[in-house]
Amino acid sequence: MRSISPVISILVIFFYSFTIALQEHIYIFMFLPALFLIFMNFRALKEVLKKLLFLNIFVVIIVISLLIQDDFKTALLIFMRSNLILLTVLLLFYQKNEFDIALALQKLRFSRKLVSIVFFTAKSIFLIKREFVLFKKTLHVRGFKPKTDLLSYKIMAGFVGILIIKAYERAKYIQKSMLLRGFKGEIYTLANHQVFNSCDIALCLITFISLVLRWGVIL
């Protein structure tokens, strides 16, 4: 599967989602970026659609509330806008992790404090994921099956408590380590200079065309 660079992904999704969110109508050309990304990562489409279905829970609640008020047009417009933006986001960032986003923000010359916050947040999410996977494997080996009983609630509550304590202790350890290393609010990396490929350029052109051309009103 081919991948769009993180820098281009952030720029494209910013302008694309901001423009679509403020549009009064949905045009047929607005589907071009999503179709291009689907063509690039067709093998990942099934997994992306599963994530999109999960993210639609909140969108469906809003749509149902509007349908109850007999506002069918607004409900359909919100549903199409939300899914179009979510699908594009999932396709753009499917092969990227939190650290790629932090490095991309750094290359885009965002504030050093913002980049540091994103980077350390990404590190915390990575460690929490690792702890959660290890916890699940441990329970599976011991033959534990979660149920709606008091024992399951106690085990889950204990795990959440351990995560909070470990996160607090890890934050203090990282703070002391960074102070000893002379950290002054900026992350330094050995990442190579960003090189854009043909897919990046093609996506930028397709996104520009999709936002400029106002033909074929769908809704």
Same domain, residue pair 70 and 122: no
**pLDDT score recorded for residue 133:** 87
Structural domain for 95, as ranges: 6-99+194-212
Alpha-carbon separation of residue 1 from 69, 106, 195 (angstroms): 44, 25, 18
C-beta separation of 29 from 215 below 8 A: yes
The confidence score (pLDDT) of residue 62 equals 87
163 and 136 housed in the same domain: yes
In terms of domains, do 20 and 89 share one?
yes
Is the four-CA dihedral 172, 177, 182, 184 of positive or negative sign?
A: negative
Q: Is residue 92 located within the same domain as residue 19?
A: yes
Domain count, the chain: 2
Q: CB-based burial of residue 194 (10 Å sphere; 0-12 exposed, 13-18 middle, 19+ buried)?
A: middle
Q: How far is CA 126 from the centre of its chain?
A: 14
pLDDT tens digits in sequence order for the chain, 219 residues long: 467 888 899 999 999 999 988 888 888 899 999 999 999 888 888 899 999 999 888 888 988 988 888 888 888 888 999 999 999 999 998 888 878 888 888 888 888 888 888 888 888 888 888 888 888 888 888 887 878 888 888 888 888 888 888 888 888 888 888 888 787 777 777 666 666 788 899 999 999 999 888 777 787
Tell me how far apart the alpha carbons of residues 65 and 175 are, in angstroms, rounded to a whole number: 46
